[in-house]
Amino acid sequence: MHDGLQSYKKKKFQKVMDTDISTEVLADKVMSGDRIMLSKAITLIESNARQHYQKAQELLHLLLPNICPSIRIGITGVPGAGKSTFIEEFGFSLCEKGYKVAVLAVDPSSTVSGGSILGDKTRMERLARHPNAFIRPSPSTGTLGGVHRKTRESIIACEAAGYDIIMVETVGVGQSEVIVRGMVDFFLLLAITGAGDELQGMKKGIMELADAIVVNKADGENKKLAEKTKREYNQILHFLMPATRGWETKAYTCSALYGDGIQEVWNTITLFIEKTKNNGAFTERRQSQIIEWLFAMIRERLENSFFQHNEIKQYLPFIQDAVAKETITVSNAVDALFQKYESSFENR
């Protein structure tokens, strides 16, 4: 990142954080639909500082009773699939229908590079200007688990602000699709033609997460190919377990550039919501998602406490080496590590 921009961002961040606005006032303003205050709330949620964490938790506690019923949509796709164009077009059409649309991002690459898939302010300019839209770049620091928490809590903040359609965008890196699948009701895989090659390069199991596969760029000379790709996806989908109980995942085509097929995507999602609310799958998933999130956070905290422990950090490389060379058994290695770990608690 550019140094000037970095220091500008830092200053801006400090300013938000130093505002002596009380948590109660912030909560009220968020719930009244104030977009600038929603931004501040999310900045607070995303902060890694300990005192901000406490304040964010208080804020969320105030916001929780006020969250509105929403549809959470996850969107993923290989780079070049046209995710921004699709989200802009799709989001704009929903805003025009009167929905309030929030766009968040989970970008695991940003945890490494410091970049962000939604960092570019010029992206989705048309959507960003719509009074019913709220666009938020991905939290750009922290572990994937941390980004995960921040995104989930940002969803809550958006819902408390009255946003009834939440889109969570991700690029297909690491575990990000699985994580996003675990926080949305409907998961959409945006694809493009060139199926054979693309499918082979596609990450294992991603098709099995999707509630719909939308082949984008079905326009001009590419239209026929897109239709063929759609058929190929449908053939493979036939052999896979559906991602959602009572719903058959199918492939569709669209042209985000020309707005073709966008309405059909929305029809599909509304049908999905209707069906899953009727058969109970919607509520089931929401409840199991939140419980899974609880357990994921417990596990993360347990592992952090262990692997960040000073003695373990020093000792683990040697143990790993001995295990790889098979000079000690794995069970012995684990015993030795836990002896060090647990004795440090007892001697506190």
Contact set for a copy of itself, span 229-248 (CB under 8 A): 236, 238-241
Closest CA relative to residue 112, chosen from 149, 139, 140, 137: 140
Q: Which long-range contacts (CB under 8 A, 24 or more apart) does 299-304 make?
A: 300/143, 300/145
Closest CA relative to residue 265, chosen from 136, 91, 139: 91
Non-local (6+) Cβ contacts of 104 within 8 A are 136, 138, 151, 154, 155, 158, 166, 167, 168, 169
Q: Candidates 10-18, 26-34, 110-118, 332-340: pick the segment binding a copy of itself (CB under 8 A).
A: 332-340
Can you tell me which of 297, 309, 315, 340 binds a copy of itself, judged by CB under 8 A? Answer: 297
Across-strand partners of 171? 77
Contact set for a copy of itself, span 40-59 (CB under 8 A): 53, 57
Alpha carbon distance 67, 159 (integer Å): 5
Q: How far is the CB of 124 from a copy of itself (least distance, A)?
A: 29
Residues in binding contact with a copy of itself, number by CB under 8 A = 53
Nearer to a copy of itself, 18 or 346 (CB): 346
DSSP character string of 118-164: T--TTTTHHHHHSTTEEE-PPP-SS-HHHHHHHHHHHHHHHHHTT--
Pattern of binders to a copy of itself over 123-162, x per CB under 8 A?
--------------------------x--xx--x------
Q: How far is the CB of 299 from a copy of itself (least distance, A)?
A: 7
Point out which residues bind a copy of itself (CB under 8 A).
53, 57, 60-61, 64, 67, 149, 152-153, 156, 196, 199-200, 203-205, 208, 236, 238-241, 287, 290-291, 293-294, 297-299, 301-303, 306, 319-320, 323-324, 326-335, 337-338, 345-346, 348
